[in-house]
Chains A and B, each alone.
Chain A
Amino acid sequence: MERWWIRPVVRLVLAVALPFLVPLLIAGMIWAMPGDPATNVCPDCTGEGMLQMVKDRNLDQGPLHFYSEWMSSMVSGDFGRSWSFQSGEEVAYLLKSGIGFTLKLFLLGGLIILAGAFLTAVKWIPSWLKSGIRLVGMLPGLVLSLAAIAVYTVYINPSAMETTWTQVAMGALILAIADAALSGTIDGVDEVIETEGRRRYVQIAILRGESTLQNILPNTLPALVGQVRARMLSLLSAAIIIEMILKINGVGELLVVGALKQDFPLVMACTFFYVVISSVMLMLQAVIEILVALSIRKSPKGVA
């Protein structure tokens, strides 16, 4: 008997473990970097104050201590304070200020892709539009972002310190279209439906007057969900570059700047945010797979 449950269970376990594992890896990396982490944080500092600061930053007892302290504070919503990007600012505050923009960007981009997937499934997208989307989708996000920021700079808001909805909307559109995100989804959904639609049980269902989608959905749902998750994960990554170029005050930009400035509380928090999103998607996929598998196995005898 095929062990269908292995993958979903692996996904569930990973979804739970990743948010704990990734910060541990980063904590280990702080110590793997050249030099002593304690002196790296303030090389020109001396005396008792330096020792106290090292202690306050939990850098005095190795990576495991650093990790466990970070985890226990994080549970109560305290991500520590920024070391170098905005010295003294609460990381939770910075994260909170960025999450909104990143989620808007991600969800809006994701929504466009999901809409694309749905419209493809119900065959509402004409072939000329698909060709157009494929053509634009070949361009990398960098090129489209450059064009967008140029237009934004020249015509809209040359010196904004705050992120506007226009920036987010431009970013989401680029996120959805560039790097073949939308066209890949459309082609993927098309392929799955085409392949499955050619099967005998679907042909019989059509003869019985039932809809194609209704019949193929239970069998194709896990594959489709897997595709969508992979696509969403790519979006999450691509959003980092788009945030940087379009100057959107999101978590991705915080992560890049935090990494460049060795602001590890900030890096840990931003990475944690991304890993949690990834875990949620992983968990959703696992649950859907399990539900579909159970429902297929519970089908009345004699029904294929």
Chain B
Amino acid sequence: MSRRVALAVFLVGMAILVLPGFFAPEFLTAKDGSVQGALGPLAAPPLGTDSFGRPLLDFVQQGSRIVAGPSLVAALIVMVLGALGGLLACTQSSRLSTVVQVLGETLGALPRLVVVIVVVRVLPEEWRGLMPIAVAWALLTAPGAMDEAASVASRLGGSRFVEAMRAHGFSRRRIYLVHILGYNLRPVLIRQAAETFAQVIFLEMALSYVSMMQTDISELTHGSQEEGWAGILYDGYSYLALNEPTGHSLGLGLVLVALVLVVVRSVVYAGRAR
């Protein structure tokens, strides 16, 4: 697969993941005890309905709206901090490096989900949502990305590489932005950002699923008028465990998971070094 094809796959995948969010209804269609549920895509196009007769398209659109912003922000944070880590390794400021190292080690030593759960609990109700969780996740992931970027930069020669390029007449801006970030750190940063993007989406699904399993808690990552992609998997679970006719929900949930993975793999492929 060429890099262009990979890029095209990534763009199409992202469009499928993100664009539905712009058309998402503000409120999910309410459950209706009087209509037949669990209709397949042929009986209730385009995606069928869940056990309570709600269109699965609503779930897809609302799920997209829930995850798109926070997962992209988290990816961006990791990318920026990772780049910072790589660039720092190319400077001669050992004191700054030490400070960053200490911060990185501290954040990196905390079990991420433990911190996220504490964050979920401590936030006031009006702030609750996926965004603060995604930001916390990104900040805890960033030290790893910074480390990896720094080790790539070190392999390049660190500050000696910059000096050598300066000797060839390149400007500092060009060396940092084009040679270090563009040519050398790009694959690492894109991979780290893409992985964080997927992790936040899967984290949202997991936390939503957990809150759906408990009947007496409120949603952790979105409002009560919304239902995310975990709702599709939750509906599909009754096909697996109870043999209910919700196989299409399970299938759709798996397709969404696969789509996220395809997006990640394609962008990593497209962003690899020449």
Asked if residues B114 and A240 are in contact (CB atoms below 8 Å), the reply is yes
Asked if residues A244 and B114 are in contact (CB atoms below 8 Å), the reply is no
Contact with B along A138-154 (1 / 0, CB 8 A): 11111100110111011
A11 within 8 A of B: yes
A138 (CB) vs chain B CBs: closest residue: B261
Asked if residues A10 and B121 are in contact (CB atoms below 8 Å), the reply is no
A242 (CB) vs chain B CBs: closest residue: B206
* Interface residues on chain A, number (Cβ under 8 Å): 53
A70 to chain B, nearest CB (A): 15
- Our pick among B94, B108, B210, B217 for the contact of A241 (Cβ within 8 Å) is B210
A6 within 8 A of B: yes
B102 within 8 A of A: yes
- Our pick among B110, B120, B125, B230 for the contact of A22 (Cβ within 8 Å) is B110
Contact with B along A15-46 (1 / 0, CB 8 A): 10010001000100100111000000000000
A85 within 8 A of B: no
A8 to chain B, nearest CB (A): 10
B205 within 8 A of A: yes
A204 within 8 A of B: no
Size class of the B contact interface (CB-based, 8 Å):
35 or more
> Which of A56-64, A92-100, A274-282 forms contacts with chain B?
A274-282
A168 within 8 A of B: no
Asked if residues A143 and B112 are in contact (CB atoms below 8 Å), the reply is no
Asked if residues B118 and A233 are in contact (CB atoms below 8 Å), the reply is no
Q: Looking at A146, A234, A270, A271, which has the most chain B CB atoms within 10 Å of its CB?
A: A146
Near B by CB (< 8 A), chain A positions 259-273 give: 259-260, 262, 267, 270-271
Asked if residues B111 and A140 are in contact (CB atoms below 8 Å), the reply is no
- Our pick among B109, B120, B241 for the contact of A259 (Cβ within 8 Å) is B120
Near B by CB (< 8 A), chain A positions 240-261 give: 240-241, 244-245, 252, 255-256, 259-260
Which label, helix, strand, loop or mixed, suits the secondary structure of the B interface?
Answer: helix
- Our pick among B114, B241, B257 for the contact of A153 (Cβ within 8 Å) is B241
Contacts of B240 in A (CB 8 A): 146-147, 150-151, 154
Near A by CB (< 8 A), chain B positions 225-261 give: 230, 233, 237, 240-241, 253-254, 257, 261
What separation, in Å, do the CA atoms of A274 and B105 have in the docked complex?
A: 16
B143 (CB) vs chain A CBs: closest residue: A230
What separation, in Å, do the CA atoms of A274 and B115 have in the docked complex?
A: 10
- Our pick among B109, B111, B144, B202 for the contact of A142 (Cβ within 8 Å) is B202
What separation, in Å, do the CA atoms of A279 and B206 have in the docked complex?
A: 26
- Our pick among A150, A233, A267 for the contact of B241 (Cβ within 8 Å) is A150
7 examples of A-B residue contacts, CB within 8 angstroms: A7-B105, A29-B122, A140-B206, A146-B209, A240-B113, A267-B118, A278-B109
